[in-house]
Structure 1
Amino acid sequence: MTRSILYFLSAAAPCMRNFAFQQFHKLPVCITSEANLQLVPSFSIHPNLRSAVYCGAVAAGGDAEWNFTWSQFQDATVASEANKLMLALACSSNTQLLERYLEFTLDPGKIRKQDATAVITAVAKNRAGQNLTWQFLTKNWEHMFTEYGVGSFSFASLISGVTARFSTPQDLQQLLDFEEEHKDAGFGSAALAVDQALERTEANIKWVQRNKQEVLQWFSSQTGNQQS
């Protein structure tokens, strides 16, 4: 990705999120408050834009938008639409909503076992949910491992997805502690993923140490905030 594209995306993000929020509120049911839904004229979002619009609206919105998206997810009859809504629910910037969503993955009545990994890793990709997801995983690892077994959870994908952004010495230490704490229960199919996560985190730490100053200087030059 070129520098010009990176700069464009960083500058355009607020505008794109506002656009998504506006499009979301043109849906057939308009959210006026958490407890009050008001009908408005029918409006259709182009299928190619739905993932971005749903995610942007949930990220910019609050409880009402999240609860509305959750209700649409529960009522969805088309698998592709349900998947878009399911992933969009992980876009919230509200940590309480993200914590609630993570807890839903332990209840097959809310999130199917085969979808739990996708939900957890989606929350982990959200900056607001990264630490929450790691705490959730470490707290519930033995429960998930014994309750679901390797047949329902893709544990390798789970470890890989949750630790993908680890890049600090603190992250590395958390991984080492996690490995030590759960060595008795084991990691099953995720054993290799744990080793790979450790290697990737060490590599990320070295990359940050090597490139942090240069990247910081470039962003500062683009925004007019020169760093000494």
Structure 2
Amino acid sequence: MAIDPSLPRWRAAAHHALGDPARLAIVEALLLGDLAPGELGRLLGLPSNLLAHHLGVLQAAGLVGRTRSEVDRRGRYVRLIPSALRALNPITPLTVPRVVFVCTRNGARSPLAAAIWADRSPIPVASAGIRPAPRVHPRAVSTAHRHGLRLQSRDTAHVDEVLAPTDLLVAVCDNAHRALGPAPRRVHWSVPDPGPADTEEIFEEVFGQLAERIDWLAAITTATPAHPTTPN
């Protein structure tokens, strides 16, 4: 079936897919970031054969997709399809003071994500890497410029220098996700590194993936209210 949220037939199929408690639990587990099938199975207590069945139903309904890990090319991650889920609007807003995007080298994905976020949301944003490169990749700069965006800086930073305990950390690569590990205020997006291919096409593809995910996250995120100032 073509994925068109405006069609009652599609919406009925999507709601039918979510009508099973296990499938609804899978979607809720994936609301903010990607998970490997094994992680989903352990989190939800589902055997692999039953999990595979439920993921197949959700994928047929256009609610989830799968990506191959760039670390070893064997692992896979399951992700929500934001444009499909947005039509169903199943969650309440997340309140955060700042969003920090992190990738391996802080050279392409995380600075591009921060630039897109700054254009989409008033919530403060920063970017960092777990092994920062000497500088931001030139194609990241030119890609941002093509979309009318400006990177925060052409310098890079280590995550330890940037991250605060209250920040929402979004790991936009598998290496950063594995190095930092899971935590309550950490989200993982399995986005490929455009650096090795080093073409305009791959940078545009990565920009599109980030923009789609950021549009979704920005729509469900609100800023932490500022504390009132005590009069003198």
TM-score over 0.5 for the pair: no
Structure 2 length normalisation: TM-score? 0.28
Structure 1 length normalisation: TM-score? 0.29
Structure whose CA Rg is larger: 1
Structure number with greater CO (CA < 8 Å, separation at least 6) is 2
Q: Judging by fraction of residues, say which structure has more helix.
A: 1
Q: Judging by fraction of residues, say which structure has more strand.
A: 2
